């Protein structure tokens, strides 16, 4: 199967390309390189021994995207391409709606036109907003989003559900995943944020190696054991494998038109727990400073992943310690290259 991977040069996308290849699929990468780098292709080739097709294309560019479909028979798509910084989405909501919702519409119209029947959508636990009960299940109420980014994920899920209900040409799964961290154990690919990182772990690693000042912790007065936000942190390799499992599920279950799965570890860790675990497993120091809360941040969220285990036959294999060790080794490899 040829699988179109939009945003395939990014953090999660690149790791998913590896796992697709390992499972016998042929990934075709589309990425506009707005938050990634072409050197990722080198890492992918070293890991897999394969040079993948790559199109430097913006998913909102209908004509350029159609050329990809014309040149390649597409059996399915995994749609990662989206802007994803919560804080930035609060500042630039119109850009987020145009980019995240618009790109999905372009992709699905082309999938319909060219008979590409399988879609795996990169959704997020942000659709749960500030949940009333934990852990959240796939049946938990979708609360009003805390940020425009979160709202784009809610809207995109609704678009996919409506489209798959109306059309028998596309079947889809939305993966609501939690907080991906870590890097490939080879240290050949990993998270490569451009500019100041918006995610916790790359900021930790860049601070620890001296590229940045003290880590900024956004708020210490939340209703959690240590006052800092709680998230479900999942190793990116485990997350990548969930996309492969979802493709296999769609291929083997013709009755599934649309379904939703939580993808996480099933437990939460606070920001300070992540900091202390990072220091312990990597035997290094880390300075941090407590600051005010950040607009759009949810206090605590982690998921029930029983449905993913039962139907997809998938579960996490790597620990928080594994994730933070791999993230640090990736940062060290970047420093050796520079």
Q: Are strands 230-231 and 269-270 parallel, antiparallel or unpaired?
A: antiparallel
Cβ pair 78, 28 in contact under 8 A: no
The alpha-helical segments, DSSP class H, found in 139-235 are: 148-166, 200-208
Buried b (16+ CB within 10 A) or exposed e, 2-11: ebbbbbbbbb
Query: For residue 79, what are the β-bridge partners?
Result: 6, 121
Which DSSP helix (H) or strand (E) runs through 8? Answer: none
Question: Environment class of residue 142 by beta-carbon count within 10 Å: exposed (0-12), middle (13-18) or buried (19+)?
Answer: middle
Token reading at 83: 């802007």
Question: Environment class of residue 63 by beta-carbon count within 10 Å: exposed (0-12), middle (13-18) or buried (19+)?
Answer: exposed
String of DSSP letters for 170-191: -EEEEEEE-EEE-B-TTSSSB-
Name the phi and psi angles at 35, rounded to 5.
-140, 40
Q: Distances from the Cα of 318 to the Cαs of 239, 306, 323, in angstroms?
A: 10, 17, 7
Query: For residue 181, what are the β-bridge partners?
Result: 235
Token reading at 171: 């079947």
Buried b (16+ CB within 10 A) or exposed e, 24-62: ebebbbbbbeebbeeebbebbeebbeeebebbebbbbee
- The percent helix, strand, coil of the chain (3-state, each to 5) is 45, 20, 40
- Give residue for tokens 């100041």: 196
What residues act catalytically?
Answer: 149
């Amino acid at each position: 199967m040829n699988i179109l991977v939009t945003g395939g040069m990014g953090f999660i996308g690149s790791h998913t390309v590896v796992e697709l290849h390992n499972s016998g699929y042929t990934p075709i990468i589309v990425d506009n390189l707005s938050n990634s780098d072409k050197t990722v292709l080198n890492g992918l080739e070293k890991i897999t021994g394969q040079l993948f097709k790559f199109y430097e294309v913006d998913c909102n560019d209908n004509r350029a995207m159609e050329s990809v479909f014309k040149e390649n028979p597409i059996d399915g798509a995994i749609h990662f391409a989206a802007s994803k910084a919560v804080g930035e989405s609060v500042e630039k909501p119109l850009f987020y709606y145009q980019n995240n919702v618009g790109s999905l519409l372009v992709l699905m119209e082309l999938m319909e036109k060219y008979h590409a029947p399988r879609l795996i959508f990169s959704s997020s636990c942000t659709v749960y907003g500030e949940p009333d009960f934990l852990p959240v299940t796939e049946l938990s109420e979708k609360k009003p989003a805390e940020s425009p980014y979160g709202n784009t994920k809610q809207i995109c899920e609704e678009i996919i559900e409506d489209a798959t209900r109306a059309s028998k040409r596309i079947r889809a799964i939305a993966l609501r995943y939690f907080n991906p961290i870590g890097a490939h154990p080879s240290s050949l690919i990993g998270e490569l944020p451009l500019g100041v990182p918006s995610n916790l772990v790359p900021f930790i690693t860049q601070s620890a190696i001296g590229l940045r000042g003290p880590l900024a912790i956004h708020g210490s007065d939340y209703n959690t054991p240590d006052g800092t936000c709680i998230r479900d942190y999942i190793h990116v390799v485990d997350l990548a494998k969930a996309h492969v499992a979802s493709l296999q599920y769609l291929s083997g279950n013709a009755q599934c038109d649309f379904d939703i799965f939580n993808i996480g570890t099933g437990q939460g860790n606070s920001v300070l727990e992540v900091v202390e675990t990072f220091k312990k497993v990597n035997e290094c120091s880390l300075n941090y400073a407590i600051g005010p809360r950040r607009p759009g941040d949810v206090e605590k969220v982690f998921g029930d992943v029983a449905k993913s285990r039962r139907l997809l036959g998938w579960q996490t294999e790597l620990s928080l310690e594994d994730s933070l060790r791999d993230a640090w080794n990736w940062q060290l490899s970047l420093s050796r290259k520079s």
